[in-house]
Structure 1
């Protein structure tokens, strides 16, 4: 199989467990991903849908080579992401803008040049227009949304083959976000690049993905599947869920609401049946806590 025929991403039997340094042997380890298996073709744009804690960020971290797996196989462009990490893989997450190094008194033009902007001048200038960036901004004076634009320009100005986005568009205004998504779509069409995008903002996304996937509790309840969805009878088994999806214009937003609402219902029912420990929501408490007793005094 030639390099161009290889899947962009190929994951087989991946299970990932978070281990805590110094944890007791009796402590139960947290399984973040369970038996994940899927492949993505080059040129695809996959949207990951799932609630907080579903495992999306962990998966993207693993694809970016930032986590060592205990079980399974993870290949990007035919290469093992740990033993033979492929070039031109870009990961962009929210933690970057919180870094103290990105909030110093440095001019944006100097900042971009320090990471090689001069080598990608044509693409850099195109992104400066799309993201509406002023090269004279000082990093410590600009807003979180403007700082996020600088991060995106920095990450996208090289010719990447795989782009992993983890909630990174959360601070963008609707116009810049729309122009960014149009740019990414063109990159996948013209350069056969691949995008995997985890987000909780679904407005304006209906025409963006080529594939959509649903994660819940570390598992894929729906592996990456071509969008728009075709086989609704099998994908949405609950007739009410299917009816809600169709009445809502078959939008990604409606589908996400259906999936996440069902995820919560299943989890709450499992808690009631004692199949899992209740860890969210209000807790019944008959004995006042120490804090409550203290402040009542």
Structure 2
């Protein structure tokens, strides 16, 4: 399945001939990607194994990684994401919670007001209830999941046109996650906004997306495609997103195993009977017996 959702201009997100390497000496993280998404309301789920390129793609769309390749065109709201970045775009990723600044001894109410919470009081208060956040929490004394909730309040309290989410629900309990996804779905529909969401948690997501895409080793196997799929497709996929994702990921592992037979670096245990240098060293200085 490789049907594009393109309905012609105007598009909200657009990429053409996108290839990206983290440095010149490694394999490309993204390979010749071209796709587009129409203006919302739309909510696209990115499915793919670890290392498929989902996070890199979202970071590029967010303008956080510089592209130097000639001929590449990446746009949001018809504006170049590196030279004329558009307003109304919000990116939320997992690295935020590890920033030492947000782990300091600052009260949540002060933290939110420091980034403009007082300007978005109505949406801020709505999100405080949805995400079950205590304004008197101290950022250094709360759990990773609670800190993630504060991040989501901060990132979502201002209105956005395009929302890029990279695994930000991984720390949330199931109730808070469900309430958040309900809010995002309604917000997208009411304001005609666009969401692109990379996740590995598919339970409870069947009614959330309008489109689903499949990435493998830096490329799209299935371009963003209208969801739900027919009850049973030619590939045997059904309308449960968990089942679709599980089948795709199994196919990804099989595909990679075939590449390993023809020279791609193999994962898993080393099958050589000759001990590795590391094993030899640590065996020599093992005093546990």
Residues 42-99 of structure 1: per-residue CA shift (max 9 Å, x gap)? 2110000000000000100010001122241111011110110000110000000011
Please say if 1:92 is aligned against 2:92: yes
Instruction: For structure 2, list consecutive stretches of 5 or more residues without a partner in the other structure.
Output: 1-8, 285-289
**1:293 counterpart residue number:** 280
SS at structure 1 position matched to 2:220: strand
2:270 — aligned with what? 283
- Residues in 1 aligned to 2:36 and 2:281: alpha-carbon distance in whole angstroms: 56
> Pairwise mapping of residues 1-297 of structure 1 onto structure 2 (< 5 A)?
6-19=10-23, 27=25, 29-42=26-39, 43-69=41-67, 70=69, 71-230=71-230, 233-234=233-234, 236=235, 242=236, 245-246=237-238, 250-272=239-261, 274-278=262-266, 280-297=267-284
5+ long unaligned stretches in structure 1: 21-26, 237-241
In structure 2, what is the Cα distance between the partners aligned to 1:283 and 1:122? 57
Instruction: State how far apart, in whole Å, the 2-side matches of 1:291 and 1:13 are.
Output: 42
Q: Secondary structure at the match of 1:85?
A: coil
Provide the C-alpha distance between the structure 1 equivalents of 2:61 and 2:101, rounded to a whole number of angstroms: 25
Alignment partners' CA distance in 2, 1:111 and 1:62: 27
Alignment length, in residue pairs? 273
Instruction: Provide the TM-score with structure 2 as the length reference.
Output: 0.91
- Runs of 4 or more, structure 1, over 4 Å off, are 231-234
Whole-angstrom distance in 1 between the partners of 2:232 and 2:82: 37
TM-score between the two structures when normalised by the length of structure 1: 0.88
Residue 292 of structure 1 and its aligned partner are, at CA, apart by 2.9
RMSD: 1.5
SS in 2 for 1:18: coil
Q: For residue 294 of structure 1, report the CA deviation from its aligned partner.
A: 3.9
Offset at residue 10 of structure 1 (A): 1.1
Distance 1:8 1:292 in 2: 52
Distance 1:77 1:291 in 2: 51
User: Shift of the alpha carbon at 1:291?
Assistant: 3.8
Report the 3-state secondary structure (helix = DSSP H, G, I; strand = E; otherwise coil) of the residue aligned with 2:29.
strand
Structure 1 Cα separation of the partners of residues 209 and 53 of structure 2: 20
Write out per-residue CA displacement over residues 242-267 of structure 1, whole angstroms, 9 at most, x where no aligned residue.
1xx44xxx311111110010110111
